[in-house]
Amino acid sequence: MNPIALRLSAMSLELEGCGMPEIVEAFQIAEREILRLEERPRVTEEMVTRFLGWKLPQDFSPDGGVTFKPINHPACWPIGTNLLTAIQARTMLEHVLANTTGM
């Protein structure tokens, strides 16, 4: 268990009998949030690289006025890097892996 979460748990137990339920509840909420964040998968450089290197399917259809006219050569088919930068891909993957319960 995360040392910060352990300390929050211990502090909330110490304060339970002190007549400060709001503070105890705040510690418990913080502890749960730390544990929830630790459970969430982390975006790795490998994930970003694999996403950016993924060969787009034959039926992909860009939007926003973007056009793609394929040439008759298999090596010239676009990959993910034609759509997003590494920073944008990381942001997108973080969004995909984020907890959506608050939405």
pLDDT digits (tens, 9 = 90+) for 34-55: 777 676 677 788 888 888 888 7
State the pTM of this model. 0.44
pLDDT digits (tens, 9 = 90+) for 44-89: 888 888 888 887 777 777 776 677 677 777 677 777 666 778 888 8
* 93 contacts: CB under 8 Å, gap ≥ 6: 43, 47, 48, 51
pLDDT value at position 40?
65
27: exposed, middle or buried (Cβ count in 10 Å: 0-12, 13-18, 19+) = buried
Phi first, then psi, for residue 56 (nearest 5°) are: -65, 145
* First vs last C-alpha separation in the chain: 27
